[in-house]
Structure formats: C-alpha cells, structure tokens
Structure 1
Amino acid sequence: MSQEVVGDLDLSVSYVLKQVHASMRAAMEESLRPMELTVPQYACLELLGRNSGLSSSELARRAFVSRQSMNLVLRRLQERGLLARPSQAPHGRALPSELTDDGRAVLRHASAAARAAEKELFSPLSLERQRRLREDLAECLAAAANSE
C-alpha cells in the first residue's frame, strides 16, 4: 500500500496559511488583551455590530466556534454589560443578542486594534497585492463551497 506524501511544507500553501492565521491570532490576542477581550469575544461583538439579533447558533457558526463555546462567550459579554439577551425567546428557542451602548463603545476600540494588527501583519504587501490575495483566497473559498 503506497502512502501519499504531503511534500515540502515550505511549498505548501495551506501550511503557510495556517502560520499566517496563527500569527494573526496571536497579534489580535495581544491587541485585545488591554480591553480584556478574547478573539472569540471580539468576533462576537463584531458580528453583532453588523447583524444585531443573531442567535447563539448563528454567532457560533460565523465565529468558527462550537455552540457551547459561544454560550460561554455570550454569558461573559452579558455579565460585562456589553450585550443584552432576553430571558425568554420571542419565538422559537433562539435568544437574539444585541450590543449595548457599552458594547458598541468597546467594539469601536477593539475593531481599531484588530485592524491595526492586520495592517501590521500584511504591511510587507502593497495594497494591490493585499487585494489580489483577498480575491484569490475568496475564489478558493467559493470553489470549495460549490464542491460541497
């Protein structure tokens, strides 16, 4: 039985993507730490800032975390007064979440910090090369979604 070989990791696009992801995550963690936010908490705030009223399940899916993890994220953000959730679901079982005024204020600072971390990481690339990279990766995602 022959075994498939990944090959030279230095030539693997996916390996470099993983390294970039890890580097971006570390930079974001560092920039969000003064605000006492984790990356999943920031992602949750960002998603709610753009789509108020999302359920825990939808937030989990869009933030790439489990539903259980998202429930912890939501609970912590609610305890800090950054988001509000009704005690009972208005319809069905989903509890829609909304940012509070404090949540919107924290989100403004967190977004600026996250954007600064991203700018720093991608600063070796011109704006045109960043645009091309974003478009190329989006094309790969679209092809993967179409094959599912």
Structure 2
Amino acid sequence: MSPDQLGVLIKETQAVLNQRMDEVLRPLGLSVSQYACLRNLHEEPGITGSELARRTFVSRQSMNVLVQGLERQGLVERAPEPGPRRERGAMLTHAATEILARADNAVSDVVGAMTEHLGQEQRNELHALLSACRDALARESSR
C-alpha cells in the first residue's frame, strides 16, 4: 500500500466514523464537535476556549460560538473570574454530565462496531500505531 493510499484510507475511516458518531449523537442534541468539547471539559474543567479549539480541531472563533451554544443549552457555564469572556474557563453543568454519559455510551457502541472484528491485542496495537502516527505528525508541525 502506498503512502497516499494509506492517507486516503485513514481519511475515509475518519469520515465514516464521524458520520456514525453524528447519527448517534444527533438524537441527544449534540454534534460531534459539541461532544468533543464536552468530553474535553469533563477531562479538564476550566480549560480555556483556545485550548479547547486546539484539542477539537476547530478555530478559536468556531469554538467560541460552539461554547456559547452549549451555554444557551444549559450544558456549560463559564468561570466567573474577570477577563475576556472567550478566555474564561468553561465547566460542565450537571445536565451536561448526564448527557455526556449517554453520549459516551453511544460513541462507545460505534467504536465497538468499528473494532468488533479485532481481538484485544489488535485493538491495542491499532491504538499504539495510530498514536505513534499522530505524535510523529504533531512533532513535524511544531518544527
């Protein structure tokens, strides 16, 4: 398999995964980007919008709009400290924690379907290989 074929295969897999995640998250009132935002806020409460944007692969402006939408839905609240609103850390509300648990289960089912034909050792190897590829590209972009 040539490098370009591998790149296309990874992109195709990501596109189908994103589509399936969207299908299971939509009934919960979430987009894939909103889910990623909530997941990151759960893992690191108070993280800034800039860091959230970096971790969810959207622009800072898009993340600000996304967080505002989550605020209107009652899923996120911003830290009360003074300063520019978009740079104040955000935190999940109780309602978000409940929705996130349901979303995690739905996404877990999608990933389970994607990897059901793989044994545990193969899943571990896939995780290690994809992590190594991601890290190699991240090092390249920081040079």
Please give the TM-score of this superposition, normalised by the length of structure 2: 0.88
Deviation (angstroms), 1:136: 1.1
| Contact in 2 for aligned 1:9/1:15 (Cα 8 Å) | no
Query: What corresponds to 1:133 in structure 2?
Result: 126
Query: What corresponds to 1:77 in structure 2?
Result: 70
Q: Are 1:18 and 2:11 counterparts?
A: yes
Larger radius of gyration: 1
CA–CA distance in 1 between the matches of 2:76 and 2:68?
A: 9
The answer for unaligned runs of 5 or more in structure 1 is 1-7
Query: What corresponds to 1:29 in structure 2?
Result: 22
Deviations 1:93-134 (A, max 9, x none): 721100010111111111111111111112222221111011
Indicate the SS of the match to 2:87: coil
Query: What corresponds to 1:4 in structure 2?
Result: none
Q: Could you say if the C-alpha distance between residues 39 and 91 of structure 1 is closer, same or farther in structure 2, counting changes exceeding 3 Å? A: closer
| Contact in 1 for aligned 2:41/2:47 (Cα 8 Å) | yes
Please give the TM-score of this superposition, normalised by the length of structure 1: 0.86
Indicate the SS of the match to 1:12: helix
Deviation (angstroms), 1:92: 9.8
Q: Could you say if the C-alpha distance between residues 141 and 90 of structure 1 is closer, same or farther in structure 2, counting changes exceeding 3 Å? A: same
| Contact in 1 for aligned 2:79/2:91 (Cα 8 Å) | no
Match of 2:90 among 84, 97, 106: 97
- Bigger drift between 81-90 and 133-142 goes to 81-90
| Contact in 2 for aligned 1:82/1:101 (Cα 8 Å) | yes
The answer for unaligned runs of 5 or more in structure 2 is none
